[in-house]
Amino acid sequence: MQIETNRPHVWVTFQGKPKSVSEIDHQHLSNMYWFLLIFWDRKMQWVLDEINDRFNGQILHYRPHLQFESEIQGLEDRGMIRWTEETESLMKVGVISFKDRIIGAIHQAI
């Protein structure tokens, strides 16, 4: 596993919006952590440092954004999503597992 240590001053989001690192919210940082670990077998030390410094080291569950279809497809291709339908709430839930543990979920309207 590769660990990158360079901390940028500005992060450019998937939508191309620049944000200062201090503006990246807890969920976004946690999603960055999980994405890099799952898809690139890599950790960015500055992401971990931000989570440690600002959120007492708590990494939230992985919640991929529904617009990131290629990310969701990548999880499906790796067999990491188990979809269930909750007809009463009209939601489809994808439970995300990594290395035999549940790390997050996707909630999608049916």
Predicted confidence (pLDDT) per residue in 56-103, tens digit: 999 999 999 888 899 999 999 999 999 987 666 678 899 999 999 999
Question: CA 44 to CA 30: how far, in whole Å?
Answer: 11
Question: CA 51 to CA 27: how far, in whole Å?
Answer: 10
At residue 2, the pLDDT reads 52
**Phi, psi of 46, rounded to the nearest 5 degrees:** -65, -30
What mean pLDDT value characterizes the chain?
88
Residue at token pair 């952590």:
33
3-state secondary structure of 19: strand
Question: CA 29 to CA 49: how far, in whole Å?
Answer: 10
Domain ranges of the chain: 2-55, 69-109
Share of the chain above pLDDT 70, in %: 89
Band of pLDDT at residue 3, cut at 50, 70 and 90: low
Count of beta carbons in the 10 Å neighbourhood of residue 34: 20
Higher pLDDT, 110 or 96: 96
Residue 67 exposed, middle or buried by CB count within 10 Å (0-12, 13-18, 19+): exposed
Predicted TM-score (pTM) of the model is 0.84
Angle (nearest 5°) at CA 27 between 105 and 70: 55
> Which amino acid appears at position 80 of this protein?
M
Predicted confidence (pLDDT) per residue in 12-63, tens digit: 877 888 888 888 999 999 999 999 999 999 988 889 999 999 999 999 999 9
At residue 51, the pLDDT reads 96
Angle (nearest 5°) at CA 14 between 9 and 18: 35
